[in-house]
Amino acid sequence: MSEISNCVRRLRFEHNEMTQEELASRVGVTRQTIIAIESGKYTPSLGLAFRIARTFNRGIEDIFTCEDK
Amino acid sequence: MNAEQKRAWLMLISFVVCGVLFAVLAPFVGAQAAIVAFAPVGLNAFGVLIGRGEKVDERDKSILRRAALAGFAASYLIFVLALMGMWTTTFMFHGSSQVSVHVLPDVVTLGFFTALIVRAVAVLVGYRRHVEADDV
């Protein structure tokens, strides 16, 4: 079993305090999904993870980390 | 709360209201006739008008797919258990392997209601708990 954590919230603030709504529209999901990702309630698909990484000009592994339990 | 959650709540509330109405009517008109109390549940079809044009993303699709699967699994289970239970009861206590023809519509109705209720509950639970994307 592995747990995926992320630093999307921190990156949003580092990018001119980007709002959840703005990030959601950039990556093509709803704001609720961004909230769920930030709180760890939703593990995004690979495609969405790539889109989020590109938005912040980072690699996927810089944003999402997988920890084995 | 998004449109799908509102539809799920509406479905559950309508089942509760109709269930109470059924319980009130049944002693007077009999269970077979009182089933008409569930007719207003059909109005949930207008639930598609709630949040028309609202965006549905991969998380919503994941939750809805799992909820539909849970609803189908529950109704299938109820269907098989009800039919087997009915057949076993008839065979064991009445010494006959024949089941009344009236049983089938009741079991189908029960299975259908179960599917709707379980799906609605699964939608509400899905939006609260951790969900993983369906990478297919």
d(Cα A50, Cα A39) in Å, to the nearest integer?
Answer: 18
d(Cα B47, Cα B121) in Å, to the nearest integer?
Answer: 16
Q: What's the complex ipTM? A: 0.81
d(Cα B135, Cα A43) in Å, to the nearest integer?
Answer: 10
Query: From B63, which residue of chain A is nearest by alpha-carbon distance?
Result: A42
> Is the pLDDT score of B73 beyond 90?
yes
According to DSSP, residue A41 is labeled S
For chain A, the maximum distance between any two Cα atoms, rounded to a whole number of angstroms, is 35
Domain boundaries defined on chain A = 2-68
User: Beta strands A2-6 and A42-43: pairing type?
Assistant: unpaired
Looking at residue B48, its pLDDT comes to 81
Fold exhibited by the domain A2-68: 434 Repressor (Amino-terminal Domain) (1.10.260)
Looking at residue A50, its pLDDT comes to 94
**Owner of token pair 């057949």:** B87
Looking at residue A35, its pLDDT comes to 92
Query: Which among A40, A41, A48 has CB closest to B58?
Result: A48
Looking at residue A3, its pLDDT comes to 79
d(Cα A4, Cα A25) in Å, to the nearest integer?
Answer: 23
Interface test with A, best of B4, B55, B56 (most A CBs within 10 A): B55
CB contacts < 8 A, A to B, total: 42
Looking at residue B136, its pLDDT comes to 47
Query: From A45, which residue of chain B is nearest by alpha-carbon distance?
Result: B133
Contacts 24+ apart (CB under 8 A), B50-55: B50/B3, B50/B6, B50/B7, B50/B10, B51/B2, B51/B3, B51/B4, B51/B6, B54/B2, B54/B3, B55/A29, B55/A30
Domain boundaries defined on chain B = 3-126
Looking at residue B135, its pLDDT comes to 59
With pLDDT > 90 as the criterion, what percentage of chain B qualifies? 43
Looking at residue B68, its pLDDT comes to 96
- B114 vs chain A: nearest CA distance in angstroms? 27
Interface test with B, best of A4, A35, A45, A60 (most B CBs within 10 A): A45
Looking at residue A1, its pLDDT comes to 61
**Owner of token pair 């259908």:** B112
* The amino acid at A45: S
- Quick check: pTM over 0.95? no
Please write the tens of the pLDDT for every residue from B34-68. Answer: 888 988 888 888 888 887 878 888 999 999 999 99
Walking along chain A (69 residues) 10 residues at a time, the average pLDDT comes out as 83 90 93 91 91 92 84
Please write the tens of the pLDDT for every residue from B93-130. Answer: 877 777 778 788 888 888 999 999 999 999 999 998 87
> Is the pLDDT score of B88 beyond 60?
yes
d(Cα B58, Cα B130) in Å, to the nearest integer?
Answer: 14
According to DSSP, residue B95 is labeled S
